[in-house]
Copies of this chain bind each other. A is one copy, B any other.
Amino acid sequence: MVTTTRAAKMAETRAKLIAAGRKAFAEKGYSGASMDDLTADVGLTRGALYHNFGDKKGLMAAVVDEIDTVMATRAHDAGQKAGGGWKGLLAEGAAYIEMALQPEVQRIVLLDGPAVLGDPSQWPSQNRCLQATIATLQDLAAEKAIKPVDIEAIARLLNGVALNAALWVAASETPEATLPKVVAAFECLASGVLITPESRI
């Protein structure tokens, strides 16, 4: 017997709404997405939405958090797989850039997200990603591998570069051709924090 508890049912409702939100926000943009339509798509009404998320912005926050969390962990994994340190930092940035090729990511996280929810550096998920970058930079600082600059500032700007690079690639006519160029440029700028010029790519 499958005991369907109410908590599980509500979680399922939330999941359905978030999935519908992802789809609608990605396809029509935030303001273009109709709450009536996206709830009806999963057999619900706005009643469920306002009960679970408070308002339209609440659903957007949940959607952004879900996507952004996946992005942060995946970028972090890429950095670990590259062995951490300087190589890991570059891998992290490259992974971040590649993920932003997805239209869903571009539209929801990069374009509408900041406009609706405010500065991305204030998002919980972005903070997680930022903390990872900061940690990597602190390791490099301990090895005296980077210049004595403000770690948080560098981390924020590096994330910003990756984000912006992703935007450009996504808007490009030929994303596949642009990607390697922008990754190289990213690594070039990032190398600015290194003390030893030999460490450049």
Interface stretch (choices A3-11, A42-50, A78-86, A153-161): A153-161
Contacts of A170 in B (CB 8 A): 119
Q: Which residue of B lies closest to A163 (CB)?
A: B164
Q: How many chain copies does the complex carry?
A: 2
* Assembly CA distance A121 to B192 (angstroms): 24
A20 within 8 A of B: no
Do the beta carbons of A161 and B167 come within 8 Å of each other?
no
A188's partner among B115, B184, B193 (CB-CB below 8 A) is B193
* Assembly CA distance A30 to B30 (angstroms): 13
Contacts of A112 in B (CB 8 A): 115
Contacts of A168 in B (CB 8 A): 119, 121, 153, 156-157, 160
Chain A residues within 8 Å of B, Cβ to Cβ: 29-31, 110-112, 114-116, 118-119, 121-122, 147, 149-150, 152-154, 156-161, 163-165, 167-168, 170-171, 178, 181-182, 184-186, 188-195, 197, 200
